[in-house]
Structure 1
Amino acid sequence: MNFEEKHCPHCGALLVENASFCPYCESVLIEKRPAEMPKPKRRRRITAALLLAAILVVTLTAVGFADHGKVIDAQGAELIYEADGQTFHLALSFESQGGAPFFGQPLFTVEVREDQVRGQVSSSRVFVDNGGGVAKKNEFLALVDHYEVMTTPCDGITLLQIDETCIPTNSNAAIEAIPSYHTEQLKEGEGNVIWTIYLKNGDTLRLRHTVKITRVPVVMLTENDYPMATIDDLNELLDTLAHEADRKSVYILQLPAVTYEGGLTMKNFCCDLVGSEGGTTFTGTVTIATRGIHPSNITNVRFMGDGTGIGLSASEGAFLHRCTFENWEIGAYGGLGSWVNATGCTFRGNGVGLWLDNRGGATCSGSYYGDSVYEDNGTAVRIAAMPGTETLDFNNCVFRGNGVNVENAAGYAVDLLQIVTADN
């Protein structure tokens, strides 16, 4: 039998293959292995505790993600959300909507005059229905925990911010926000209004739409540019502009301190009238029929009547600032599709001071009617018909000696909480 040679690692003697002992140097050749010591009980407890902690971390993380809920980003002005067996259709709009179904408005264009760098944009509104003809405002609001509205800067808009947000009580919109703009160097551009709505169940809904600012050129005309001494001069100038003016521009007529015997008609182009401090007066009706281009601004002008007729008649939008209407059957009248707004004005001795009779569906151009004086009129303010759901704010107005302060046959929302009356 052949054996494989094996040498003693200690003395080098030749040994048999499986030898475990060297007879020459008496060395033991079996490899010694250290005995495995038993683990202390404390180490076992630490290991078990770490394992339990890891399980708890995984469990809590899973619960946390479950509580966080899902995020639905519409990347636009409309989305569909389902919860508790209900379907909610959310639509963002800058304009009032009569009723469900509601429609999203992804883009809203605001025309900003070159002489204005600040202003408010029409409210950004969240409308909710069931995806059809049923409004779901209250059902949706019951799910809302809180909400945020932010804006993003864009080229040309140095500041587009949110002035306030609210849950309106007099509107079919669920939530509203009022953005404002501030432009510099007559730039144009766009900015996004982004809504993030956090629900009580942890879900998050996000919608957005865009405000586009476009600039409107402004042309100033004075008596140094055209004759303006008489009513005939003015009518001739307005007739020329009606045929030759750029309809995209606003023309401002800086009027001298004279009394114009007769009436005036503005048509086919946007025209502002600015009176002089010495007293620019009209004794006849001033008519605004500018075909809905831009609202006209009438500033610091006196309208003096003889007890008959209308001082100012507008079938298009008009803003009246620091004007006086005295001794007319109707001081200022807004009819057809016009929205006439008056601030800081005086209405005295008229049959009706301010008559709002918009039956043409024009949207709100300005809801603040404050700081005016209504004195000794048969009816100070008559609201016969108005579109939209805004609240007309008459705060800081003085009502004195009128037969009726506010006649509101239209049932329009009116704020009279901070007016001054003869009884105060």
Structure 2
Amino acid sequence: MAEQTQQTCPYCGASLPAEASFCPRCARSVNQRQKVSPPSIRWRKALRRAFPALLLILILGAAGTGWYLSTLPQVYDDGGTGEVTYTDEDGTYQILLGWRDTPYEPAPVITQTAEKDGEYTFPVCLFIHHKDTGVNAGEIFLQKVASVTAEFDTPDDPAAYISYGDPAYDDYVPDAALTSFTHFLGRENSARGTWTISMKNGDVIYLHQTLNVELLETVDIYPEDAPMDTIEDLQVLVDSLGDRVGESDVVNIHLPAVTYAGTLSITERPVNLYGSTEEEGRTVFTGTVQVNPKGISHIVYLYDIDFVGDGDGVGISTARRTWPIGCRFTGWRTAILCHGTGPAGGGICLSDCQFTENQIAVHYNSNGTGFFNSIWPNCAFLNNETGLLFEGESTEDALDLSGCRFEGNGTDIDNRNGQPLDISQAVFQ
């Protein structure tokens, strides 16, 4: 077949070469355009019809994913507030770390003051309440709990310990779900603690608490530093301490080996008295020492002092926290009378003391909230008409008399208020 050498312009009919794409006569393009059909719209109709079903599938998928995620274990972190709100099928709970006297207020930061190298213990409490009513929910919530642990990070001063005791229920704070007795050494220090509550459903709750330890200044006053040979001199010294030392300072007065006749009143600020144990003899008081300083958190320590009565009167009368250590009491109508109310009431602890030939060795007649130390170790009650007399309001925590010896008393223990006692390690002869 012969090759075509001519073409005709489709617009004006002019004869053009076969390869021409433009007609010079009518000035128009002679290329033939290919008609393109638009795509079918049937798939669009199908998509519109299927869209509701696809949307339903997406919604159900999202709901299923949400339900699945809701069944996974959750982590609740207090973010440093000391408090978490936790919700399950039974309700919503307030869970917090706090002080025994403020069970609804979280304590994310605790500051304790301490003497250098002193050893200290205090309670940290886990409180659990129903969020809407504030009712104690500790018992019912703990049924959902697999374990609770408490641990401090390494303190700033690693040589000085800061540690939690194992969390457990303790009737020292009956409203707390759990209590940890926290221990630290008196050094300038800080550490962050974490309580981990692992739930049986796999949830984990983290509560955080920072303990800061600040050192107290200690002021020691010796016989060569100030007059203290008579009860009058000693009273002047005790009364002047408010102007001589800081409010938070610990003051230790080291007494000479003399006999003080008359009453000594410690009513302004706390002070510790150290009796003489040197060869020249011991320090003796023949009158009453009255202990009722301002404030409720301090302890008045009395070391190695002999309290000698004439068959009448009171050796120590205390309405605040007082701790005789290594002291001897003889010849009193009442060797120690403990009275007072509120947190400071019940403020007596004894260690290594001896009570001989008193009508009443210790009369505990307080309406306090509890003992600041519930162990009275290694005391001897010998030939008294009554060793221990308990009146007033009893405490829930038992008083531990480990190592105590009762011998020759008319009545060893007169427990009129039903005070709980642990006498399993005491000796009665």
Secondary structure of 2:339's aligned partner: strand
Q: Distance in 2 between matches of 1:165 and 1:92?
A: 12
Equivalent position of 1:395 in the other structure: 402
Counterpart of 2:329, as a letter, is F
Q: Deviations over 1:110-157 (max 9, x none)?
A: 22023xx14233111112221334222221121111111101244457
* 2:99 alignment partner in structure 1: 94
Structure 1 residue 409: Cα displacement: 4.4
Q: Following TM superposition, by how much is the alpha carbon of 1:274 offset from its aligned partner in structure 2, in angstroms? A: 0.5
Aligned partner of 2:412 in structure 1 is: 405
For residues 193 and 398 of structure 2, the distance between their equivalents in structure 1, rounded to whole angstroms, comes to: 23
1:332 is matched with 336
Q: Give 1:405 shift.
A: 3.4
1:306 deviates by 1.6
C-alpha distance in structure 1 between counterparts of 2:337 and 2:108, whole Å: 34
Report the equivalent of 2:326.
322
Q: 2:302 is matched by which residue type in structure 1?
A: I
Letter in 2 for 1:340: I
Query: Are the equivalent residues in 2 in contact too, given 1:391–1:412 (CA < 8 A)?
Result: yes
Q: Is the 8 A contact 1:78 1:207 kept in 2?
A: yes
Whole-angstrom CA distance in 2 between matches of 1:70 and 1:229: 69
> Is the aligned partner of 1:85 residue 2:90?
yes
1:352–1:192 Cα change, 3 Å? farther
TM-aligned CA distance change 1:230 to 1:173, over 3 Å: same
2:184 to 176, 181, 189: 181
1:418 counterpart = 2:418: no
Contact 1:274/1:301 (<8 A) preserved: yes
- Hey, what's the Cα distance between the residues in 2 that align with 1:156 and 1:329? 50
Cα 1:288/1:2, change in 2 over 3 Å: farther
How many residue pairs end up in the alignment?
A: 355
The 1:282/1:110 distance shift into structure 2, 3 A limit, reads same
Instruction: Write the distance in 2 (CA, Å) between the matches of 1:82 and 1:381.
Output: 50
> Counterpart of 1:246 in 2: which secondary structure?
coil
The equivalent residue for 1:365 is 372
Looking at structure 1, the residues matched to 313 and 227 of structure 2 have their Cα atoms a distance apart, in angstroms, of 27
C-alpha distance in structure 2 between counterparts of 1:102 and 1:412, whole Å? 29
Q: Compare 294-303 and 308-317 and name the one that shifted more.
A: 308-317
Counterpart AA for 1:122: F
Superposed CA RMSD in Å reads 2.9
Asked if 1:300 is matched to 2:304, the reply is yes
Q: Which residue of 2 aligns with 1:104?
A: 106
Q: Which AA in structure 1 matches 2:93?
A: F
Which structure 1 residue ranges, 4+ long, deviate > 6 Å from structure 2?
64-68
SS of 2:240's partner is helix
In 2 relative to 1, CA 196–413 (structure 1 residues): closer, same or farther, beyond 3 Å? Answer: farther
Contact 2:120-2:186 at 8 Å conserved across structures: no
Please state how far the C-alpha of 1:333 moved relative to its aligned partner: 2.1
Q: How far apart are 1:355 and its partner, in Å?
A: 2.6
Aligned AA (1:107): V
> Are the counterparts in 2 of residues 67 and 201 from structure 1 also a CA contact under 8 Å?
no
Change (3 A) 1:415 1:109: farther
AA aligned to 1:289 is N
TM-score, L = length of structure 1: 0.75
AA aligned opposite 1:90: I
Structure 1 residue 364 displacement after superposition: 4.5
1:283 equivalent in structure 2: 286
Q: Is the 8 A contact 1:310 1:330 kept in 2?
A: yes
CA distance in 2, matches of 1:225, 1:119: 28
Q: 1:162 aligns with which of 161, 164, 181?
A: 164
Q: Is the 8 A contact 2:395 2:420 kept in 1?
A: no
What is the deviation of 1:297?
0.9
Amino acid at match of 2:274: V
After superposition, residues 233-252 of structure 1 pair within 5 angstroms as 233-252=233-252
8 Å Cα contact 2:358-2:384 kept in structure 1: yes
Larger Rg: 2
CA distance in 1, matches of 2:380, 2:69: 60
- Please report how far the alpha carbon of residue 375 of structure 1 lies from its aligned counterpart in structure 2 after TM superposition: 2.3
* Conserved? CA contact 1:67–1:202, under 8 Å: no
SS in 2 for 1:194: strand
Aligned-residue sequence identity (percent) comes to 25
* Deviation (angstroms), 1:195: 0.8
Matched, 1:192 2:192: yes
The reply on whether 1:203 has 2:168 as its aligned counterpart is: no
Q: Do the aligned residues in 1 keep the contact of 2:351 with 2:379 (CA within 8 Å)?
A: yes
Look up the equivalent residue of 1:168 and give its one-letter code.
Answer: D
- Aligned equivalents of 1:113, 1:387: Cα separation in 2: 31
CA distance 1:260–1:391, change in 2 (3 Å): same
Q: In the alignment, is residue 148 of structure 1 matched against residue 156 of structure 2?
A: no
Aligned to 1:57: none
In structure 1, what is the equivalent of residue 51 of structure 2? none
Instruction: For residue 276 of structure 1, give the secondary structure of its aligned residue in structure 2.
Output: coil
Query: For 2:257 and 2:112, how far apart are their aligned partners in 1?
Result: 34
**Deviation of 1:183 (Å):** 4.0
Name 1:52's counterpart in structure 2.
none
Q: CA shift at 1:291, angstroms?
A: 0.7
| Cross-structure match for 2:124 | 124
Instruction: Give the structure-2-normalised TM-score.
Output: 0.74
Which letter maps to 2:85?
Answer: I
1:236–1:133 Cα change, 3 Å: same
Return closer, same or farther for 1:409/1:91 CA change in 2, 3 Å cut-off. Answer: farther
**Contact 2:149–2:166 at 8 Å: present in 1 too?**
no
How far 1:301 sits from its partner (Å)? 0.5
CA contact (8 A) 2:394 2:418 kept: no
- Alpha carbons 1:356, 1:386 under 8 Å: kept: no
SS of the residue corresponding to residue 377 of structure 2 reads: coil
1:382-417 CA distance string (max 9 Å, x none): 333468754422211112233443444454443222
Secondary structure at the aligned position of 2:167 is classed as strand
CA shift, 1:380, in A, is 2.2
